[in-house]
């Protein structure tokens, strides 16, 4: 297997899926749809839908019998994209670049960016609900919807973001427990949702879904620690956004708490633990293992 070729195939597949999903005539609301397309169709890594697909393949040899999967793959990327649009806005991180392009509010203005985020979030659930309407296993699709809505909201990404914003704005002291809570919710929750939904839709048992959640949590925490590292020693060219924003915002991160070396060790440690867990399943997914491994030293 050539990992880079295989990764490119999967990224291309998600890019086509997102274009197809957003190819709808919205009439007078077209300028808003333009802003939605602008943010989603920018060159993201598409990791969450890819994690969902690969997790499904841990419990099923073929994806042919899971017509609902593609709707959930699109939905998770729409939710992820909305979170980036809102996160970049002046009231939160005030960032000018994302995925190598000007941020949505920088191009379309603040009001449209706010509405584009709202539009994407609602469109995500509209898309996921098409998964329910087209499901071969409605019970599995309903369970997937419950996981999606829980992990994207107050008990996941939005909850983590709220604690992050509160810590930053009030200068609340950050200790390891609070930081891990933020990483686990703000970032890991959507990766957990992705992998759990893949497993659910391919018929994994409740026990297996719990184990997948555990592995995904570790992948997500490692992913955010690496994000903190890249904000210190990444490059604009590779990241598609300027580095140093955490320092500029005097933000406490894994790197400021523990230093670069320990942060790097812990990315590796969390990732290896996740790989050990994924290796414990009967069915093997070599691509998934290589993907997790490749993220340890990712530069974008």
Q: Which parts of this chain interact with ligand GRG (CB under 6 A)?
A: 44-45, 47, 80, 83-84, 86-87, 92, 99, 157-158, 161-162, 165, 186-187, 224, 227
For ligand GRG, the closer CB: 122 or 134: 122
Asked if residues 28 and 171 have their Cβ atoms less than 8 Å apart, the reply is no
On the CB side of 286, CA atoms within 13 Å amount to 5
Q: Which residue number, 224 or 285, has a Cβ lying nearer to ligand GRG?
A: 224
Residue among 140 and 226 whose Cβ is closer to ligand GRG: 226
CB of 186 to ligand GRG, least distance (A): 5
Q: Is 137 exposed, middle or buried (0-12, 13-18, 19+ CB in 10 A)?
A: middle
Question: In the bound complex, what is the minimum distance in angstroms from residue 295's beta carbon to ligand GRG?
Answer: 10
Of the pair 142, 297, the CB lying nearest ligand GRG is at 297
Q: How do beta strands 101-102 and 97-98 pair?
A: antiparallel
Measured at the CA of 151, the angle between CA 14 and CA 143, to 5 degrees, comes to 80
Shorter beta-carbon distance to ligand GRG: residue 131 or 160:
160
Backbone angles phi, psi at 251, to 5 degrees: -90, 135
- Cα 39 to chain centroid, rounded: 14
* Shortest CB 227 distance to ligand GRG, Å: 4
| Eight-class DSSP state of 102 | E
Q: What 3-state class would DSSP assign to 28?
A: helix
DSSP one-letter code for 54: H
Q: How far is the CB of 42 from ligand GRG (least distance, A)?
A: 7
Q: Report in angstroms how near the CB of residue 225 gets to ligand GRG at its nearest.
A: 10
Chain position whose Cβ is nearest to ligand GRG: 44
């Amino acid at each position: 297997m050539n990992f880079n070729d295989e990764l490119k195939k999967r990224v291309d597949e998600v890019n086509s899926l997102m274009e197809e999903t957003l190819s709808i005539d919205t009439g007078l609301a077209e300028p808003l749809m333009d802003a939605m397309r602008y943010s989603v169709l920018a060159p993201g890594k598409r990791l969450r839908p890819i994690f969902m697909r690969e997790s499904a393949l841990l419990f099923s040899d073929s994806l042919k019998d899971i017509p609902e999967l593609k709707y959930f793959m699109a939905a998770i990327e729409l939710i992820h994209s909305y979170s980036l649009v809102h996160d970049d806005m002046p009231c939160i991180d005030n960032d000018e670049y994302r995925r190598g392009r000007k941020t949505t509010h920088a191009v379309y203005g603040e009001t449209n960016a706010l509405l584009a985020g709202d539009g994407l979030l609602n469109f995500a659930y509209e898309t996921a609900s098409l998964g329910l309407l087209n499901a071969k296993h409605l019970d599995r699709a309903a369970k997937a919807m419950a996981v999606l809505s829980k992990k994207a909201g107050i008990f996941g990404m939005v909850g983590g973001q709220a604690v992050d914003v509160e810590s930053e704005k009030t200068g609340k002291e950050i200790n390891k427990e609070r930081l891990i809570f933020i990483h686990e919710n703000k970032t890991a929750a959507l990766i957990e949702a992705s992998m759990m939904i893949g497993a659910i839709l391919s018929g994994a048992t409740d026990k297996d879904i719990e184990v997948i959640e555990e592995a995904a949590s570790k992948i997500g925490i490692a992913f955010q620690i690496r994000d903190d590292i890249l904000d210190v020693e990444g490059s604009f060219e590779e990241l598609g956004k300027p580095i140093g924003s955490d320092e500029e915002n005097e933000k406490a991160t894994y790197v400021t708490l523990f230093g670069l070396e320990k942060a790097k060790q812990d990315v590796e440690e969390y990732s290896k633990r996740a790989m050990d867990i994924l290796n414990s399943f009967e069915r093997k997914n070599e691509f998934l293992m290589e993907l997790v491994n490749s993220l340890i030293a990712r530069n974008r």
